[in-house]
Structure 1
Amino acid sequence: MRVQVRIVNAFVDGKQGGNPAGVVLQADGLDAQQKQAIAAQVGVSETAFVSSSSSAAFKLEFFTPNRQIAHCGHATVATFSLLRQLGQVDEGWSSKETLDGNRDILIQADMAFMEQRAPEYCDLDDDPALLADILAALGTDPGHLLPGLRPVRVSTGGAFVVAPLVDEAQVHVLQPDQAALARISEQLELIGFYVFSPQARKPGRAAGARMFAPRYGIAEEAATGMAAGPLACFLHDRMQVPGARLLIEQGYLMQPPSPRVITVDLQLADGRIERLLAGGRAQTMHELSLEI
């Protein structure tokens, strides 16, 4: 059987960069083992498989090269941008069915946004040994944290440890212990670690970040919508960064650099985050034909 896979770069910054996702349309006839084999062959951080749904507009399943994952931000943006380009969705609201429920999707001009839930925080200060392990695994220490702040486990549908460092230089020099991060990820049931500073390359952006997810076979991700949501919540709730729309840079500090920008719209009620939409622009790059 031959399968067509489109490679779509999500969260492009202007016409630069973007995080590549595989997208397989009309995937109803594929089983989980075949999907995992395709994702491994494609070799990008996540591949999305699109099939019919009885409860949403589309069913989306996401596979990294080594396992299935409930949600993926950049692959969602890539998928719905592609569907829009092919005329299979209109501007306005749509939806996706996922492993743990349905999520709203908003198509707005040339941008696609996905819903995430209100944040749930788990502070790590009450376990000094765990906090020390996290910092050591990331390759940093308490002296490089933003004053008055500590890493926090944040979930808006997928959990990340959000780690605030004092400046871009400290984020840039990180050389994490991937095996240690994978072990801690299993312990805390994390997708990964989102390390950031308030410094960004372009004006009007709230943070510059890097993301590590070795539990899912991803040493470093170039742009991560599911992590940008928790970070935006952290910026709003813990750092009092103003505004309901926050822009997060990612990919600038990778080698080689590949600029990405993720837009997060916080939906607030009396100053509290009720839910959020994370999204951006995407560009279809090329197609693969795989034999399975």
Structure 2
Amino acid sequence: MAHCVPYALVDVFSDEPLQGNPLALVPDADELPQELMPRIAREFNQAETTFLLSPTRPGADWRLRSFTAAGVEVFGAGHNALGAWWWLAAIGRLGHREDRPWHQQLGSEVLEVGIAGGPDGLVDVTLRQRAAEYGQELTDRTALARALGVDDEDLGAGGGDRGAGGGGIGAGGGLPVAQVVSTGAAHLLVGLRGRAAVDAAAPDAARLRALLPGVGGQGVYLYALDPAEPGADVHARFVNPVAGITEDPATGSAAGPLACLLRRHGPAVGDRVTIAQGHALDRPSRIQVTFADDVPSVTGRAALAAEGTLRLPVHSLRARTS
């Protein structure tokens, strides 16, 4: 016998299926044993799989638990959360609320979520992250260049040619070459001199796994300030060998820290930064970061790509743990 559990596949940070970052979503997951969740995530083999549960902290409307394909639980407010809230809104699970925002429980934290209908009828989801925490810089340029598969002279963000699309936010001479920043998940942000260097990078997972723990970083966000995509400010790629992610098409948990770093060191203008990601994977994605009182929020859309049913062995559900 099998126990049937519904699931959805949502493409996040795009409003079209087969673009953006795929997210496997398992709603109403309270009855699933904790030890089964990473196994289900491995079965889906997506960058992340999110489980929707009843909250355990006051003020939260939903509790989210997210696991990578390697079975590692992650807690950042990125595509894992945005796709889940978009799905809840899109299928009518949230109802109508204007008097107050929604709140999500991620780990031990409760964070604000905004849901808004755009003029085109599509749903925008905004996730409030934490204020930025600035960690260590990685100063060994030779080791970093080797781990990223780039030339040493490519390290350091600059304005490049500002791109065919006319985007970009100018030269970033005051930016650190590589620094860990967290707004919920700590990632190493590495500036390169142009988008060609970002696209040509060939990260070495073993070398990065050796480097990242020393500076307290989880993943690596490569970026340049000369995006080709019109309206974007930054061109980026993300890898996270520590969590088993070869490359991610869109990474909200890294976009927030990067926007904070750009604002801190001057090249970002105003309270809005738009990041283009996913082009190297032929899954173009767009992430918008805005600020209120120096706290970043990530906004994006999503599209439903698939729905189906998991068939789980009944014996796997007998020993439920919380």
**TM-score (ref. length: structure 1):** 0.91
**CA gap 1:286/1:91 in 2 versus in 1, 3 angstroms:** farther
Give the deviation of 1:132 after TM superposition: 3.3
Please, which of 59, 64, 69 is the counterpart of residue 63 of structure 2?
Answer: 59
Is 1:260–2:285 an aligned residue pair?
yes
Pick which of 28-37 and 221-230 moved more: 28-37
Output one character per residue of 1:118-170: Cα deviation in whole Å (capped at 9) or x when no partner.
11112426xx43x4322321112431123644111111111111111111100
Give the deviation of 1:244 after TM superposition: 0.7
Give the deviation of 1:213 after TM superposition: 0.4
Give the deviation of 1:246 after TM superposition: 1.1
Please, which of 157, 171, 181 is the counterpart of residue 154 of structure 1?
Answer: 181
Is 1:84–2:92 an aligned residue pair?
no
- Distance in 2 between residues matched to 1:49 and 1:32, nearest whole Å: 10
Unaligned 5+ segments in structure 1 are none
Is 1:234–2:261 an aligned residue pair?
yes
Is 1:286–2:306 an aligned residue pair?
yes
Please, which of 82, 99, 104 is the counterpart of residue 107 of structure 2?
Answer: 99
Query: What is the 5 A alignment of 1:154-173?
Result: 154-173=181-200
**TM-score (ref. length: structure 2):** 0.83
Give the deviation of 1:111 after TM superposition: 0.7
- Distance in 2 between residues matched to 1:185 and 1:279, nearest whole Å: 28
Give the deviation of 1:16 after TM superposition: 6.8
Query: What is the 5 A alignment of 1:31-42?
Result: 31-42=33-44
CA contact (8 A) 2:48 2:66 kept: yes
CA contact (8 A) 1:62 1:72 kept: no
- Distance in 2 between residues matched to 1:197 and 1:7, nearest whole Å: 30
1:121 maps to 134
- Distance in 2 between residues matched to 1:140 and 1:222, nearest whole Å: 20
2:161 maps to none
CA contact (8 A) 1:4 1:287 kept: yes
- Give the partner amino acid of 1:153: V
Give the deviation of 1:117 after TM superposition: 1.1
SS state of the match for residue 285, structure 1?
strand
Give the deviation of 1:72 after TM superposition: 4.6
- Distance in 2 between residues matched to 1:28 and 1:288, nearest whole Å: 18
Identity, in percent, stands at 29
State the number of aligned residues: 282
SS state of the match for residue 48, structure 1?
strand
**CA gap 1:57/1:279 in 2 versus in 1, 3 angstroms:** same
- For the aligned residue pairs, the C-alpha RMSD in angstroms reads 1.8
Give the deviation of 1:91 after TM superposition: 5.4
Output one character per residue of 1:9-66: Cα deviation in whole Å (capped at 9) or x when no partner.
0000667711110111100011221111111101110011001114200000001112
- Distance in 1 between residues matched to 2:125 and 2:89, nearest whole Å: 9
- Distance in 2 between residues matched to 1:196 and 1:187, nearest whole Å: 21
Give the deviation of 1:97 after TM superposition: 0.7
2:49 maps to 47
Structure with the greater alpha carbon radius of gyration? 2
- Distance in 1 between residues matched to 2:252 and 2:147, nearest whole Å: 23
Give the deviation of 1:192 after TM superposition: 0.3
**CA gap 1:161/1:91 in 2 versus in 1, 3 angstroms:** farther
Output one character per residue of 1:74-114: Cα deviation in whole Å (capped at 9) or x when no partner.
12111001000121224551111111311111112111111
- Distance in 1 between residues matched to 2:184 and 2:283, nearest whole Å: 26
